[in-house]
Chains A and B, each alone.
Chain A
Protein backbone atom coordinates (compact mmCIF):
# COMPACT_ATOMS: atom_id res chain seq x y z
CA UNK A 1 0.00 0.00 0.00
CA UNK A 2 1.37 3.35 -0.86
CA UNK A 3 -0.98 5.27 1.34
CA UNK A 4 1.26 7.20 3.73
CA UNK A 5 1.20 6.23 7.36
CA UNK A 6 -0.88 8.55 9.47
CA UNK A 7 1.17 10.61 11.81
CA UNK A 8 0.01 12.70 14.74
CA UNK A 9 1.59 16.07 15.25
CA UNK A 10 2.03 16.65 18.95
CA UNK A 11 1.13 20.19 19.83
CA UNK A 12 4.24 22.19 20.45
CA UNK A 13 3.45 23.28 23.95
CA UNK A 14 5.90 25.47 25.71
CA UNK A 15 7.04 24.05 29.00
CA UNK A 16 6.13 20.51 28.06
CA UNK A 17 9.19 19.01 29.62
CA UNK A 18 8.93 21.40 32.54
CA UNK A 19 5.53 19.99 33.50
CA UNK A 20 6.81 16.40 33.46
CA UNK A 21 9.87 17.38 35.50
CA UNK A 22 7.80 19.40 37.94
CA UNK A 23 5.36 16.54 38.53
CA UNK A 24 8.16 14.01 38.97
CA UNK A 25 9.97 16.30 41.37
CA UNK A 26 6.85 16.72 43.48
CA UNK A 27 5.70 13.11 43.67
CA UNK A 28 9.14 11.52 43.52
CA UNK A 29 8.05 8.96 40.93
CA UNK A 30 9.74 8.20 37.60
CA UNK A 31 6.90 8.44 35.08
CA UNK A 32 9.20 7.53 32.19
CA UNK A 33 9.01 3.92 33.35
CA UNK A 34 5.34 3.58 32.40
CA UNK A 35 4.86 1.24 29.44
CA UNK A 36 1.07 1.52 29.39
CA UNK A 37 0.25 -1.99 30.58
CA UNK A 38 -3.03 -0.61 32.03
CA UNK A 39 -2.83 -2.58 35.26
CA UNK A 40 -3.51 0.64 37.20
CA UNK A 41 -6.69 1.37 35.27
CA UNK A 42 -7.99 -2.19 35.33
CA UNK A 43 -7.84 -2.28 39.14
CA UNK A 44 -9.10 1.27 39.71
CA UNK A 45 -12.54 1.35 41.39
CA UNK A 46 -13.37 4.83 40.11
CA UNK A 47 -11.81 4.69 36.62
CA UNK A 48 -15.23 4.04 34.99
CA UNK A 49 -16.27 7.51 36.15
CA UNK A 50 -13.07 9.35 35.26
CA UNK A 51 -12.65 11.50 32.15
CA UNK A 52 -9.11 10.12 31.75
CA UNK A 53 -8.02 6.71 33.03
CA UNK A 54 -5.01 6.63 35.39
CA UNK A 55 -2.72 5.27 32.64
CA UNK A 56 -3.89 8.06 30.33
CA UNK A 57 -3.09 10.64 33.01
CA UNK A 58 0.50 9.35 33.04
CA UNK A 59 0.65 9.57 29.24
CA UNK A 60 -0.78 13.09 29.21
CA UNK A 61 1.89 14.18 31.68
CA UNK A 62 4.57 12.70 29.43
CA UNK A 63 3.09 14.79 26.61
CA UNK A 64 3.12 17.86 28.83
CA UNK A 65 -0.61 18.45 28.56
CA UNK A 66 -0.80 20.37 31.79
CA UNK A 67 -4.25 21.91 31.56
CA UNK A 68 -5.89 18.63 30.52
CA UNK A 69 -4.36 16.88 33.52
CA UNK A 70 -4.85 19.55 36.17
CA UNK A 71 -8.43 20.24 35.10
CA UNK A 72 -9.41 16.58 34.79
CA UNK A 73 -12.04 15.09 37.08
CA UNK A 74 -9.81 12.00 37.36
CA UNK A 75 -7.49 13.62 39.90
CA UNK A 76 -10.47 14.30 42.21
CA UNK A 77 -12.21 10.97 41.72
CA UNK A 78 -9.08 9.03 42.73
CA UNK A 79 -9.84 7.70 46.23
CA UNK A 80 -6.18 6.90 47.02
CA UNK A 81 -6.97 3.20 47.46
CA UNK A 82 -3.46 2.47 46.12
CA UNK A 83 -4.51 -0.54 44.07
CA UNK A 84 -2.70 1.03 41.10
CA UNK A 85 0.57 1.65 42.91
CA UNK A 86 0.53 -1.78 44.54
CA UNK A 87 0.15 -3.54 41.20
CA UNK A 88 2.32 -1.36 38.93
CA UNK A 89 5.07 -3.57 37.49
CA UNK A 90 7.34 -0.53 37.39
CA UNK A 91 6.58 0.50 40.94
CA UNK A 92 5.15 3.87 40.03
CA UNK A 93 3.10 5.04 43.01
CA UNK A 94 0.16 6.59 41.18
CA UNK A 95 -1.54 7.42 44.48
CA UNK A 96 1.31 9.77 45.33
CA UNK A 97 1.19 11.12 41.78
CA UNK A 98 -2.52 11.95 42.19
CA UNK A 99 -1.84 13.74 45.49
CA UNK A 100 0.83 15.85 43.79
CA UNK A 101 -1.48 16.68 40.86
CA UNK A 102 -4.32 17.76 43.16
CA UNK A 103 -1.99 20.01 45.08
CA UNK A 104 -0.57 21.56 41.90
CA UNK A 105 -4.04 22.09 40.51
CA UNK A 106 -5.09 23.98 43.64
CA UNK A 107 -1.91 26.01 43.98
CA UNK A 108 -1.94 27.10 40.37
CA UNK A 109 -5.60 27.99 40.45
CA UNK A 110 -6.92 25.49 37.92
CA UNK A 111 -10.67 25.00 37.81
CA UNK A 112 -11.55 21.83 39.76
CA UNK A 113 -14.10 19.80 37.83
CA UNK A 114 -15.27 18.13 41.03
CA UNK A 115 -16.24 21.11 43.16
CA UNK A 116 -18.12 18.90 45.61
CA UNK A 117 -15.02 16.87 46.41
CA UNK A 118 -12.96 20.01 46.97
CA UNK A 119 -15.74 21.46 49.14
CA UNK A 120 -15.81 18.30 51.27
CA UNK A 121 -12.04 18.21 51.68
CA UNK A 122 -12.07 21.89 52.69
CA UNK A 123 -14.89 21.36 55.18
CA UNK A 124 -12.97 18.42 56.67
CA UNK A 125 -9.74 20.41 56.97
CA UNK A 126 -11.55 23.34 58.56
CA UNK A 127 -13.19 21.02 61.07
CA UNK A 128 -9.76 19.86 62.25
CA UNK A 129 -8.48 23.43 62.38
CA UNK A 130 -11.41 24.43 64.59
CA UNK A 131 -11.29 21.61 67.11
CA UNK A 132 -8.25 19.42 66.48
CA UNK A 133 -10.53 16.51 65.67
CA UNK A 134 -13.28 16.09 63.10
CA UNK A 135 -16.75 16.95 64.34
CA UNK A 136 -19.18 15.36 61.89
CA UNK A 137 -22.24 17.57 62.44
CA UNK A 138 -20.53 20.92 61.89
CA UNK A 139 -18.27 19.47 59.19
CA UNK A 140 -21.28 18.22 57.21
CA UNK A 141 -23.06 21.52 57.67
CA UNK A 142 -20.08 23.39 56.33
CA UNK A 143 -19.84 20.98 53.39
CA UNK A 144 -23.51 21.53 52.58
CA UNK A 145 -23.04 25.29 52.64
CA UNK A 146 -19.88 25.16 50.53
CA UNK A 147 -21.30 22.76 47.96
CA UNK A 148 -24.88 24.03 47.88
CA UNK A 149 -26.04 20.41 47.97
CA UNK A 150 -28.49 20.62 50.87
CA UNK A 151 -30.70 17.58 50.44
CA UNK A 152 -28.53 14.56 49.57
CA UNK A 153 -28.13 12.06 52.41
CA UNK A 154 -30.37 13.96 54.78
CA UNK A 155 -32.25 10.78 55.75
CA UNK A 156 -29.19 8.55 56.38
CA UNK A 157 -27.70 11.48 58.30
CA UNK A 158 -30.81 11.70 60.49
CA UNK A 159 -30.70 7.93 61.08
CA UNK A 160 -27.11 8.19 62.28
CA UNK A 161 -28.07 11.08 64.50
CA UNK A 162 -30.99 9.12 65.98
CA UNK A 163 -28.61 6.28 66.78
CA UNK A 164 -26.46 8.70 68.71
CA UNK A 165 -23.60 8.40 66.26
CA UNK A 166 -23.30 12.08 65.46
CA UNK A 167 -22.44 14.05 68.60
CA UNK A 168 -24.14 17.43 68.60
CA UNK A 169 -21.59 19.66 70.27
CA UNK A 170 -18.10 20.08 68.87
CA UNK A 171 -15.18 19.54 71.22
CA UNK A 172 -11.78 21.12 71.21
CA UNK A 173 -8.47 19.53 72.13
CA UNK A 174 -6.28 21.21 74.72
CA UNK A 175 -3.46 21.79 72.29
CA UNK A 176 -5.61 23.51 69.67
CA UNK A 177 -3.09 26.34 69.44
CA UNK A 178 -0.42 23.91 68.23
CA UNK A 179 -2.83 22.64 65.55
CA UNK A 180 -3.51 26.21 64.39
CA UNK A 181 0.23 26.87 64.38
CA UNK A 182 0.78 23.80 62.17
CA UNK A 183 -1.97 25.01 59.83
CA UNK A 184 -0.43 28.46 59.64
CA UNK A 185 3.01 27.09 58.80
CA UNK A 186 1.76 24.67 56.15
CA UNK A 187 -0.98 26.66 54.48
CA UNK A 188 0.96 28.35 51.72
CA UNK A 189 -1.74 27.95 49.10
CA UNK A 190 -4.53 29.03 51.35
CA UNK A 191 -5.30 32.33 49.70
CA UNK A 192 -5.59 30.81 46.27
CA UNK A 193 -8.00 28.25 47.68
CA UNK A 194 -10.33 30.78 49.22
CA UNK A 195 -10.36 32.95 46.12
CA UNK A 196 -11.23 30.03 43.93
CA UNK A 197 -14.00 28.90 46.23
CA UNK A 198 -15.41 32.41 46.15
CA UNK A 199 -15.44 32.48 42.38
CA UNK A 200 -17.04 29.09 41.96
CA UNK A 201 -20.06 29.98 44.07
Chain B
Protein backbone atom coordinates (compact mmCIF):
# COMPACT_ATOMS: atom_id res chain seq x y z
CA UNK B 1 0.00 0.00 0.00
CA UNK B 2 1.37 3.40 -0.96
CA UNK B 3 0.94 6.43 1.23
CA UNK B 4 0.48 9.51 -0.82
CA UNK B 5 0.09 12.30 1.67
CA UNK B 6 1.21 11.78 5.18
CA UNK B 7 0.12 14.06 7.95
CA UNK B 8 1.40 14.34 11.47
CA UNK B 9 -1.59 13.80 13.70
CA UNK B 10 -2.32 10.25 12.69
CA UNK B 11 -5.67 10.97 11.05
CA UNK B 12 -5.96 8.47 8.20
CA UNK B 13 -8.29 7.70 5.35
CA UNK B 14 -8.32 5.09 2.65
CA UNK B 15 -8.06 6.77 -0.76
CA UNK B 16 -9.36 5.95 -4.24
CA UNK B 17 -7.56 8.36 -6.64
CA UNK B 18 -9.39 7.43 -9.85
CA UNK B 19 -7.89 7.23 -13.35
CA UNK B 20 -7.94 10.97 -14.09
CA UNK B 21 -5.76 11.80 -11.07
CA UNK B 22 -2.75 10.61 -13.07
CA UNK B 23 -3.78 12.20 -16.34
CA UNK B 24 -6.32 14.87 -17.21
CA UNK B 25 -6.93 15.85 -13.58
CA UNK B 26 -3.32 15.71 -12.43
CA UNK B 27 -3.64 19.10 -10.70
CA UNK B 28 -6.48 17.74 -8.60
CA UNK B 29 -4.30 14.88 -7.35
CA UNK B 30 -1.35 17.20 -6.67
CA UNK B 31 -3.39 19.76 -4.76
CA UNK B 32 -5.17 17.07 -2.70
CA UNK B 33 -1.81 15.74 -1.57
CA UNK B 34 -0.50 19.17 -0.64
CA UNK B 35 -3.63 20.38 1.14
CA UNK B 36 -4.28 17.26 3.19
CA UNK B 37 -0.67 17.10 4.25
CA UNK B 38 -0.98 20.66 5.51
CA UNK B 39 -4.10 19.65 7.44
CA UNK B 40 -2.38 16.69 9.02
CA UNK B 41 -4.44 14.03 7.26
CA UNK B 42 -2.91 10.88 5.77
CA UNK B 43 -4.29 9.17 2.72
CA UNK B 44 -3.58 5.52 2.08
CA UNK B 45 -4.11 4.64 -1.57
CA UNK B 46 -6.23 1.51 -2.07
CA UNK B 47 -4.01 -1.38 -3.01
CA UNK B 48 -3.99 -2.06 -6.75
CA UNK B 49 -7.24 -0.19 -7.37
CA UNK B 50 -9.06 -0.40 -10.72
CA UNK B 51 -11.23 1.94 -12.77
CA UNK B 52 -14.76 2.48 -11.42
CA UNK B 53 -16.17 1.89 -14.91
CA UNK B 54 -17.81 5.31 -15.13
CA UNK B 55 -20.81 6.01 -17.34
CA UNK B 56 -19.57 3.80 -20.16
CA UNK B 57 -19.89 0.61 -18.17
CA UNK B 58 -23.23 1.26 -16.48
CA UNK B 59 -24.62 2.21 -19.87
CA UNK B 60 -23.60 -1.13 -21.33
CA UNK B 61 -23.55 -3.75 -18.59
CA UNK B 62 -25.16 -3.34 -15.19
CA UNK B 63 -23.52 -6.31 -13.49
CA UNK B 64 -20.04 -5.29 -14.64
CA UNK B 65 -20.73 -1.71 -13.51
CA UNK B 66 -21.31 -3.02 -9.98
CA UNK B 67 -18.46 -5.54 -9.98
CA UNK B 68 -15.69 -3.11 -10.98
CA UNK B 69 -16.33 -0.74 -8.03
CA UNK B 70 -16.93 -3.79 -5.82
CA UNK B 71 -13.35 -4.96 -6.38
CA UNK B 72 -12.19 -1.61 -4.98
CA UNK B 73 -14.59 -1.94 -2.06
CA UNK B 74 -13.12 -5.38 -1.39
CA UNK B 75 -9.60 -3.90 -1.32
CA UNK B 76 -10.66 -0.94 0.85
CA UNK B 77 -12.31 -3.27 3.37
CA UNK B 78 -8.92 -4.72 4.24
CA UNK B 79 -8.24 -1.55 6.21
CA UNK B 80 -10.53 -0.19 8.91
CA UNK B 81 -10.39 3.25 7.35
CA UNK B 82 -13.15 5.32 5.78
CA UNK B 83 -12.83 5.41 2.01
CA UNK B 84 -12.41 8.86 0.47
CA UNK B 85 -13.08 9.49 -3.22
CA UNK B 86 -12.11 12.84 -4.81
CA UNK B 87 -13.75 12.52 -8.23
CA UNK B 88 -17.51 12.97 -8.26
CA UNK B 89 -17.90 10.39 -11.03
CA UNK B 90 -15.97 7.65 -9.23
CA UNK B 91 -17.77 8.52 -6.00
CA UNK B 92 -21.12 8.04 -7.71
CA UNK B 93 -20.17 4.62 -9.11
CA UNK B 94 -18.88 3.41 -5.74
CA UNK B 95 -22.05 4.64 -4.01
CA UNK B 96 -24.26 2.99 -6.64
CA UNK B 97 -22.52 -0.27 -5.89
CA UNK B 98 -22.81 0.27 -2.15
CA UNK B 99 -26.54 0.84 -2.56
CA UNK B 100 -26.99 -2.31 -4.62
CA UNK B 101 -25.01 -4.34 -2.07
CA UNK B 102 -27.07 -2.95 0.79
CA UNK B 103 -30.55 -3.06 -0.70
CA UNK B 104 -30.61 -5.90 -3.23
CA UNK B 105 -29.71 -9.27 -1.64
CA UNK B 106 -29.90 -11.15 -4.93
CA UNK B 107 -27.59 -8.71 -6.68
CA UNK B 108 -25.29 -8.74 -3.68
CA UNK B 109 -24.86 -12.50 -3.95
CA UNK B 110 -24.13 -12.20 -7.66
CA UNK B 111 -21.59 -9.38 -7.21
CA UNK B 112 -19.91 -11.11 -4.27
CA UNK B 113 -19.50 -14.38 -6.14
CA UNK B 114 -18.30 -12.67 -9.33
CA UNK B 115 -15.68 -10.57 -7.54
CA UNK B 116 -14.93 -13.16 -4.89
CA UNK B 117 -15.36 -11.26 -1.64
CA UNK B 118 -17.77 -10.78 1.25
CA UNK B 119 -19.14 -7.28 1.63
CA UNK B 120 -18.85 -5.63 5.03
CA UNK B 121 -21.60 -3.08 5.47
CA UNK B 122 -19.65 -0.87 7.84
CA UNK B 123 -17.25 0.45 5.18
CA UNK B 124 -17.99 4.15 4.87
CA UNK B 125 -17.58 5.70 1.42
CA UNK B 126 -17.23 9.48 1.37
CA UNK B 127 -16.70 12.14 -1.26
CA UNK B 128 -13.57 14.17 -0.59
CA UNK B 129 -15.60 17.38 -0.29
CA UNK B 130 -17.76 15.73 2.38
CA UNK B 131 -14.68 14.56 4.29
CA UNK B 132 -13.18 18.07 4.11
CA UNK B 133 -16.36 19.89 5.14
CA UNK B 134 -17.75 17.44 7.71
CA UNK B 135 -14.73 15.37 8.68
CA UNK B 136 -12.02 18.02 8.97
CA UNK B 137 -14.48 20.87 9.51
CA UNK B 138 -14.41 24.60 8.90
CA UNK B 139 -12.76 25.37 12.23
CA UNK B 140 -9.54 23.59 11.32
CA UNK B 141 -9.65 24.91 7.77
CA UNK B 142 -10.02 28.53 8.88
CA UNK B 143 -7.08 28.09 11.26
CA UNK B 144 -4.88 27.19 8.30
CA UNK B 145 -5.84 30.16 6.13
CA UNK B 146 -2.81 32.42 5.76
CA UNK B 147 -3.74 34.25 2.60
CA UNK B 148 -7.53 34.75 2.49
CA UNK B 149 -9.00 34.70 -1.01
CA UNK B 150 -10.41 38.19 -0.51
CA UNK B 151 -12.04 39.57 -3.62
CA UNK B 152 -12.13 36.24 -5.48
CA UNK B 153 -15.62 35.77 -6.87
CA UNK B 154 -16.33 32.10 -7.52
CA UNK B 155 -19.27 30.15 -8.88
CA UNK B 156 -19.43 26.77 -7.15
CA UNK B 157 -20.24 24.05 -9.65
CA UNK B 158 -21.35 20.71 -8.23
CA UNK B 159 -22.50 19.04 -11.42
CA UNK B 160 -24.53 15.84 -11.39
CA UNK B 161 -22.64 12.93 -9.93
CA UNK B 162 -21.84 14.42 -6.54
CA UNK B 163 -25.42 15.14 -5.53
CA UNK B 164 -27.61 12.93 -7.71
CA UNK B 165 -29.39 10.60 -7.35
CA UNK B 166 -29.76 11.70 -3.69
CA UNK B 167 -30.85 8.19 -2.64
CA UNK B 168 -27.43 7.03 -3.87
CA UNK B 169 -25.08 9.88 -2.97
CA UNK B 170 -26.77 11.07 0.25
CA UNK B 171 -24.75 14.26 0.08
CA UNK B 172 -25.86 17.86 0.55
CA UNK B 173 -28.97 19.26 -1.19
CA UNK B 174 -29.55 17.98 -4.74
CA UNK B 175 -31.01 21.26 -6.02
CA UNK B 176 -29.10 23.91 -4.08
CA UNK B 177 -26.04 22.34 -2.47
CA UNK B 178 -23.89 24.41 -0.10
CA UNK B 179 -20.71 22.48 0.78
CA UNK B 180 -18.45 24.19 -1.78
CA UNK B 181 -20.05 27.60 -1.18
CA UNK B 182 -19.49 27.44 2.57
CA UNK B 183 -15.96 26.17 2.05
CA UNK B 184 -15.18 29.06 -0.30
CA UNK B 185 -16.53 31.55 2.25
CA UNK B 186 -14.35 30.03 4.95
CA UNK B 187 -11.32 30.59 2.67
CA UNK B 188 -12.30 34.24 2.34
CA UNK B 189 -13.64 34.03 -1.24
CA UNK B 190 -17.06 35.24 -2.31
CA UNK B 191 -19.34 32.44 -3.50
CA UNK B 192 -21.82 33.93 -5.95
CA UNK B 193 -25.48 32.97 -5.90
CA UNK B 194 -26.38 31.32 -9.17
CA UNK B 195 -28.82 28.80 -10.52
CA UNK B 196 -26.64 26.43 -12.58
CA UNK B 197 -24.84 24.72 -9.70
CA UNK B 198 -26.11 21.26 -10.52
CA UNK B 199 -26.87 21.54 -14.24
CA UNK B 200 -25.14 18.78 -16.18
CA UNK B 201 -22.22 19.85 -18.41
CA UNK B 202 -22.68 16.85 -20.72
CA UNK B 203 -19.06 15.67 -20.37
CA UNK B 204 -19.98 12.08 -21.23
CA UNK B 205 -21.01 13.16 -24.71
CA UNK B 206 -18.18 15.65 -25.25
CA UNK B 207 -16.28 13.36 -27.60
CA UNK B 208 -19.23 12.16 -29.63
CA UNK B 209 -21.50 15.25 -29.64
CA UNK B 210 -19.14 18.16 -29.14
CA UNK B 211 -21.55 20.51 -30.95
CA UNK B 212 -24.24 20.46 -28.33
CA UNK B 213 -21.96 19.88 -25.35
CA UNK B 214 -20.36 23.24 -26.24
CA UNK B 215 -23.81 24.80 -25.87
CA UNK B 216 -24.35 23.20 -22.46
CA UNK B 217 -20.92 24.34 -21.29
CA UNK B 218 -21.29 27.89 -22.56
CA UNK B 219 -24.66 28.18 -20.88
CA UNK B 220 -23.22 27.11 -17.53
CA UNK B 221 -20.08 29.26 -17.74
CA UNK B 222 -22.10 32.14 -19.20
CA UNK B 223 -24.48 32.02 -16.25
CA UNK B 224 -21.55 31.99 -13.84
CA UNK B 225 -20.18 35.10 -15.50
CA UNK B 226 -23.59 36.76 -15.48
CA UNK B 227 -23.80 36.08 -11.73
CA UNK B 228 -20.57 38.04 -11.33
CA UNK B 229 -18.14 35.14 -10.95
CA UNK B 230 -14.59 35.32 -12.34
CA UNK B 231 -13.93 31.62 -12.07
CA UNK B 232 -15.64 28.33 -11.30
CA UNK B 233 -14.75 25.76 -8.69
CA UNK B 234 -15.61 22.07 -8.88
CA UNK B 235 -14.79 18.63 -7.54
CA UNK B 236 -14.86 16.40 -10.61
CA UNK B 237 -12.14 15.65 -13.14
CA UNK B 238 -14.54 15.32 -16.02
CA UNK B 239 -16.48 18.53 -15.23
CA UNK B 240 -13.26 20.54 -14.89
CA UNK B 241 -11.75 19.55 -18.19
CA UNK B 242 -15.05 19.81 -20.04
CA UNK B 243 -15.83 23.28 -18.67
CA UNK B 244 -12.33 24.62 -19.36
CA UNK B 245 -11.81 23.01 -22.73
CA UNK B 246 -15.21 23.49 -24.34
CA UNK B 247 -16.13 27.01 -23.26
CA UNK B 248 -15.90 29.95 -25.63
CA UNK B 249 -12.58 31.27 -24.34
CA UNK B 250 -12.85 34.53 -26.28
CA UNK B 251 -16.23 35.51 -24.86
CA UNK B 252 -15.91 33.88 -21.44
CA UNK B 253 -12.46 32.57 -20.50
CA UNK B 254 -13.28 31.70 -16.88
CA UNK B 255 -10.71 29.36 -15.31
CA UNK B 256 -12.10 26.31 -13.53
CA UNK B 257 -10.43 25.30 -10.28
CA UNK B 258 -10.58 22.17 -8.19
CA UNK B 259 -11.59 23.24 -4.69
CA UNK B 260 -8.35 21.84 -3.30
CA UNK B 261 -6.33 24.19 -5.53
CA UNK B 262 -8.02 27.19 -3.93
CA UNK B 263 -7.46 25.69 -0.48
CA UNK B 264 -3.78 25.43 -1.37
CA UNK B 265 -3.60 29.12 -2.30
CA UNK B 266 -5.45 30.18 0.84
CA UNK B 267 -3.16 28.02 2.99
CA UNK B 268 -0.20 29.77 1.39
CA UNK B 269 1.31 26.48 0.22
CA UNK B 270 4.45 26.76 -1.82
CA UNK B 271 5.19 24.79 -4.94
CA UNK B 272 1.88 25.28 -6.70
CA UNK B 273 3.50 24.34 -9.97
CA UNK B 274 0.36 22.92 -11.45
CA UNK B 275 -1.09 26.20 -12.83
CA UNK B 276 0.49 25.48 -16.20
CA UNK B 277 -1.67 22.36 -16.39
CA UNK B 278 -4.84 24.43 -16.79
CA UNK B 279 -6.31 24.85 -20.26
CA UNK B 280 -7.32 28.39 -19.22
CA UNK B 281 -4.54 29.92 -17.19
CA UNK B 282 -5.71 31.34 -13.85
CA UNK B 283 -2.49 33.39 -13.51
CA UNK B 284 -3.92 36.74 -14.60
CA UNK B 285 -6.88 36.41 -12.25
CA UNK B 286 -4.72 35.33 -9.31
CA UNK B 287 -2.15 38.06 -10.00
CA UNK B 288 -4.86 40.71 -10.10
CA UNK B 289 -5.74 39.76 -6.53
CA UNK B 290 -2.12 39.23 -5.48
CA UNK B 291 -2.85 35.59 -4.78
CA UNK B 292 -0.01 33.96 -6.64
Contacts and interface: CB of A to CB of B under 8 A. Distances in A.
Interface stretch (A5-13, A15-23, A32-40, A180-188): A180-188
A160 interface: yes
Given A83-B160, A133-B51, A153 B210 contact: yes
The contact size tier of chain B is: 35 or more
Interface of B: 19, 22-24, 26, 48-51, 53-64, 67-68, 71, 114-116, 160, 164-166, 174-175, 198-200, 202-205, 207-210, 212, 216, 241, 245, 276-277, 279
Interface string A84-119: 011000000101000110110010000000101101
A152 B166 CA distance: 35
6 contacts: A82-B160, A86-B175, A99-B62, A164-B277, A173-B48, A173-B50
Nearest to A103: B62
Contact of B50 (A79, A99, A175): A175
B53 A128 contact: yes
Contacts of A160: 24, 241, 245, 279
Nearest to A156: B245
Contact of B59 (A102, A167, A183, A186): A102
Given A49-B209, A83-B200, A167-B23, A173 B49 contact: yes
Given A80-B55, A120-B208, A173-B49, A187 B64 contact: yes
Contact of A182 (B19, B68, B245): B68
Contacts of A81: 160, 164, 200
B164 A83 contact: yes
Contacts of A82: 160, 164-165
Give the interface SS of chain B, mostly helix, strand, loop or mixed. Answer: helix
Nearest to A116: B208
Contacts of A93: 165
A45 B200 contact: yes
Contact of B26 (A48, A79, A147, A164): A164
Nearest to A128: B51
Going nearest first, the 5 A-B pairs with the smallest beta carbon separation are A124-B56, A81-B200, A82-B164, A81-B160, A116-B208
Contact of B19 (A83, A134, A143, A174): A134
A121 B56 CA distance: 4
A76 B204 CA distance: 11
Contacts of B24: 136, 160, 165-166
A54 interface: no
Contacts of A189: 61
